[in-house]
């Protein structure tokens, strides 16, 4: 298992309360967290920070989630695993289209269950929860 403190997770959402909640939960799990509040910031931070995982909301200002996904498909960032989430209804075919992107590893709907999300992040990053 990898050391959680060496793993960086980028949270991308324009809702401050969701960003703060996910930052709190992920830091409690031992991860370093970077927050981006729109698609443009997400792309810039992905290039600079090269996170180990991206949690990406689909509905974003300045490039929506689909555009961010497309733009991340390049050599430096194309292998970063992405968990996509949304608060909007998405039909099965749209979910399958999203899951079909090469670096999308999961799709979740809001409200996010933080316990399930934490477990999923540990599984993706091959880490384990800290001993409490």
132 within domain boundaries:
no
- Assess if residue 58 is contained within a domain: yes
Q: How confident is the model at residue 98 (pLDDT cuts 50, 70, 90)?
A: confident
pLDDT at site 88: 76
pLDDT at 26: 97
pTM of the model: 0.93
CA geometry: angle 43, 48, 54, nearest 5 deg: 55
Q: Are 85 and 60 in contact (CB under 8 A)?
A: no
* Mean residue pLDDT across the chain: 92
Number of domains in the chain: 1
In the predicted structure, residue 97 carries a pLDDT above the cut 90? no
Taking the C-alpha atoms of residue 73 and residue 54, their distance in angstroms, rounded to an integer, is 13
In a domain, 88, yes or no: yes
The boundaries of the domain holding residue 43 are 4-125
Does some domain include residue 131? no
Q: Is the peptide bond before 115 cis (omega within 30 degrees of 0)?
A: no
pLDDT at 1: 62
CATH number for the domain spanning 120: value is: 3.40.50.2300
**95 within some domain:** yes
The enclosing H or E element of 11 equals strand 8-12
Predicted confidence (pLDDT) per residue in 26-73, tens digit: 999 999 999 999 999 999 999 999 999 999 999 999 998 889 999 999
Q: Is residue 130 part of a domain?
A: no
Helix-strand-coil split of the chain, %, nearest 5: 40, 20, 40
Asked, for residue 112, whether it belongs to a domain, the answer is: yes
CB neighbours of 94 closer than 8 A, spacing ≥ 6?
none
Residue 8 binned pLDDT confidence (cut-offs 50, 70, 90): very high
State the average pLDDT over residues 119-123: 97
Distance CA(2)–CA(129), nearest Å, equals 11
């Amino acid at each position: 298992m990898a050391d959680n403190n060496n793993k960086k997770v980028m949270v991308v959402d324009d809702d401050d309360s969701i960003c703060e909640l996910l930052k709190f939960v992920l830091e409690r799990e031992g991860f370093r967290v970077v927050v981006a509040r729109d698609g443009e910031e997400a792309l810039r931070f992905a290039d600079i920070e090269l996170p180990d995982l991206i949690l990406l909301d689909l509905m974003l200002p300045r490039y929506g989630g689909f555009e961010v996904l497309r733009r991340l498909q390049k050599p430096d960032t194309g292998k970063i695993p992405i968990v996509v989430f949304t608060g909007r209804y998405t039909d099965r075919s749209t979910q399958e289209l999203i899951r079909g992107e090469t670096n999308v590893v999961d799709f979740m709907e809001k409200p996010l269950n933080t316990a399930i999300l934490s477990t999923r992040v540990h599984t993706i990053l091959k880490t384990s929860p800290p001993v409490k």
